[in-house]
Structure 1
Amino acid sequence: MHTGETTMVILLLIGLAAKSSLISTCACILLVLQFSKLDFLFPYLETHGLELGLVFLLLSILVPIATDRVTTRELLYNVTSLPGLLAIIAGALATHLNNEGLKLMQIDPGIIFGLIAGSVIGILFFNGQPVGPLMAAGVAALFIEVLNWFR
């Protein structure tokens, strides 16, 4: 068994132990692709998987608007009120952090294991909700940048 396969099995076991169906499912899919000789899909998943995942994430977020559970009046209020303005600032900051996290994962792909381990700790001990390693990588990139200020 290769290192990548061993790591996927470990991630599968961690996902099962942490009751994280996302981690478990992803590890299983990658193992199936490897063992069925469909690993030629890996470069496509690596380059387009993030966009594909974001499409589904945005679809789930936009459903309440599409189904009129959120009205135009509520939308307008939520971009003109103090909480709405803070949400706009938070969204801008989060996208910047996500970009920095993406750069970090491209420079050091091995960091993903630490991000997943941290996500599992957050799930198990802090009742966290895993939404993917990108935001965790953004926060890690921020921590690394702050540490570099003190060097």
Structure 2
Amino acid sequence: MNWENMPLLIILVLAVIGDNQSVALAALVLLLIKLLGLTAWFPSIETHGLNIGITIMTMAVLTPLAQGRISLGEMMSAFKTQSGLIAIVIGIFVSWVATQGMHFLKASPEATTALIVGTIGGVCFLHGLAVGPLIAGGFVAMIINALNSFKQ
């Protein structure tokens, strides 16, 4: 194994130590793809992986609706409670922030490495979720835009 595999190996070890199966599995699969010489898959994974992952995550969130465990009446009642209204507003805000993060990460690849390190740290040691880079990127973009507006 050469040194360029070391970052994935370190992430794998940290994920195992931090007891995070999702990150461990992701690092292991990418390491295996690399070791098996299937690197031609990387551009497709990079291009489509995020959308596929978001689609699968959305399917998981919508499954209770599909199973009939959440009714239309229960959905409508979310508009009648304080926590429901706050959840709707925060859901809209966070999805917008994540979109800003996706645009920021595409435009600022140098920040991607730092966000990945921070996300892996949060996932492995704080038992966070690996959806952090998009949201974190959105917050970084918002902060940078705010700081740039003060410079003018």
Distance 2:61 2:82 in 1: 21
Query: Structure 1 2/38 Cα, relative in aligned 2: closer, same or farther at 3 Å?
Result: same
| Stretches of structure 2 lacking an aligned partner (at least 5 in a row) | none
Q: CA deviation at 1:40?
A: 0.7
- 1:58-137 alignment runs, 5 A limit: 58-123=58-123, 127-132=126-131, 133-137=133-137
Cα deviation 1:97-137 (Å, max 9, x = unaligned): 11111122212334344323323443466x44214222222
- 1:4-15 alignment runs, 5 A limit: 5-15=5-15
Cα deviation 1:53-101 (Å, max 9, x = unaligned): 0111011111111112212211011134333332222122112211111
Q: Which residue of 2 aligns with 1:32?
A: 32
Amino acid aligned to 1:58: T
Say whether the 8 Å CA contact 1:18–1:120 is kept in structure 2: no
* Percent of pairs with identical residues: 27
Q: Which has the higher contact order (CA 8 A, sep 6+)?
A: 2
TM normalised by structure 2 equals 0.82
Distance 1:113 1:74 in 2: 42
TM normalised by structure 1 equals 0.82
Q: CA deviation at 1:52?
A: 0.6
Would you say how many aligned residue pairs link Structure 1 and Structure 2? 149
| Stretches of structure 1 lacking an aligned partner (at least 5 in a row) | none
Amino acid aligned to 2:98: N
- Moved beyond 4 Å, runs of 4+: none
RMSD between aligned residues = 2.3
